[in-house]
């Protein structure tokens, strides 16, 4: 898909208003050869807040959230390697360890050393891997359908992916290629579990952009299949994530779309097992809860981070 076309789509779905005082689009070349596209918003003297998106999206998923938080926070939202407008070297290995290393280099290049995080989907294990490397860097966590517990996996959504983990054959990859990495399944991730009255709030441009920008070409599909297979390594790290929670007692708000078929409500409730003061709440939404409940979520994020001094 032509880069200029994808760039135009990204800009077209941002709300139409004057962002010049608080928002800019940029990119940064880090030492592993990746060029990280990102959105930065809010004054640099405000508390820093890192936004990490999920599969199969990009920072575009935060297009409505960023204006609601930029008056209280200095926001940094990168496109992860394999997504959005970020580019990687031809020999880049698409694993969660590699993506975490790249984002770590990116944060170091921008001198982001102490910050709160808003995590979603793939952004959750990446942020928690960062936390294992630098436990004192993360001041607070907002997890919106960002899983860290086996109880959070929704079935049957994860069944074919877990089958790939158990038996990584070409046939298992082909099943996911033909049935998961599609426009129909991308649409499903946006619409499943959403109350029927809210479905008209979901702009078809969002899931169409996700598909065309991140899943469309054979090479993109290969990268995404590699990441779906590698997701199992995040599960292997769950005991270490839980130990980090218990030792740090990092302030955490779990705000969850309760209709999410991929990461179900039990995953949100499980955080309270290791974080005694974790705040857990639910909104009547699906996986991409920001599409229909962005104002409600933004209000809770501002309240939570304000109470924690973050």
How far is residue 90 CA from its own chain's centroid?
A: 24
Mention every residue, 6+ apart, whose C-beta is less than 8 A from residue 174.
Answer: none
Q: What is the three-class DSSP state of 52?
A: strand
Strands, DSSP E only, in the chain?
23-29, 35-41, 48-52, 74-78, 115-119, 138-143, 252-257, 279-283
- The CA distances from residue 228 to 86, 96, 151, 233, in Å, are 19, 10, 18, 10
* pTM to 2 decimal places: 0.93
How far apart are the C-alpha atoms of 20 and 309, rounded to whole Å? 27
pLDDT tens-digit profile, the chain (310 residues): 334 333 333 433 444 344 445 778 889 899 999 999 999 999 999 999 999 999 999 999 999 999 999 999 999 999 999 999 999 999 999 999 999 999 999 999 999 999 999 999 999 999 999 999 999 999 999 999 999 999 999 999 999 999 999 999 999 999 999 999 999 999 999 999 999 999 999 999 999 999 999 999 999 999 999 999 999 999 999 999 999 999 999 999 999 999 999 999 999 999 999 999 999 999 999 999 999 999 999 999 999 999 999 9
> What separation, in Å, do the N-terminal and C-terminal C-alpha atoms of the chain show?
39
pLDDT number for residue 2: 38
- The CA distances from residue 2 to 5, 8, 39, 61, in Å, are 5, 10, 20, 20
Instruction: Give catalytic residue positions.
Output: 287
Q: What is the three-class DSSP state of 48?
A: strand
How far apart are the C-alpha atoms of 70 and 12, rounded to whole Å? 20
Contacts from 291-294 at CB under 8 Å and sequence distance 24+?
A: 291/190, 291/194, 291/201, 291/202, 291/203, 291/206, 292/194, 292/198, 292/201, 292/202, 293/257, 294/64, 294/65, 294/68
With contact defined as beta carbons under 8 Å apart, do 49 and 69 qualify? yes
Q: What is the three-class DSSP state of 116?
A: strand
């Amino acid at each position: 898909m032509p880069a200029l076309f994808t760039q135009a789509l990204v800009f077209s779905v941002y709300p139409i208003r004057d962002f010049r005082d608080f928002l800019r689009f940029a990119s940064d070349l880090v030492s592993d050869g990746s060029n990280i596209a990102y959105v930065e918003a809010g004054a640099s003297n405000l508390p820093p807040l890192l936004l990490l998106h999920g599969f199969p999206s990009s920072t575009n998923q935060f297009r409505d959230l960023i204006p609601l938080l930029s008056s209280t926070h200095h926001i940094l939202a990168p496109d992860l390697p394999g997504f959005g407008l970020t580019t990687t070297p031809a020999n880049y290995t698409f694993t969660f360890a590699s993506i975490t290393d790249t984002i770590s280099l990116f944060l170091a290049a921008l001198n982001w050393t102490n910050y709160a995080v808003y995590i979603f989907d793939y952004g959750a294990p990446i942020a928690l891997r960062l936390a294992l490397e630098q436990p004192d860097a993360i001041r607070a966590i907002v997890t919106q359908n960002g899983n860290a517990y086996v109880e959070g996996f929704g079935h049957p959504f994860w069944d074919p992916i877990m089958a790939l983990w158990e038996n990584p054959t070409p046939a298992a990859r082909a099943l996911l290629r033909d049935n998961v990495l599609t426009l129909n399944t991308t649409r499903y991730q946006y619409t499943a579990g959403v109350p029927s009255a809210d479905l008209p709030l979901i702009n078809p441009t969002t899931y169409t952009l996700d598909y065309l920008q991140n899943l469309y070409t054979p090479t993109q599909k290969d990268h995404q299949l590699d990441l779906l297979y590698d997701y199992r390594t995040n599960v292997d790290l769950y005991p270490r994530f839980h130990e980090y929670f218990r030792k740090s007692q990092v302030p955490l708000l779990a705000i969850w779309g309760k209709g999410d078929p991929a990461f179900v409500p039990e995953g949100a409730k499980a955080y309270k097992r290791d974080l005694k003061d974790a705040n857990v709440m639910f909104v009547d939404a699906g996986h991409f809860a920001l599409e229909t409940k962005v104002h409600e979520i933004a209000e809770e994020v501002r309240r939570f981070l304000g109470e924690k001094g973050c």
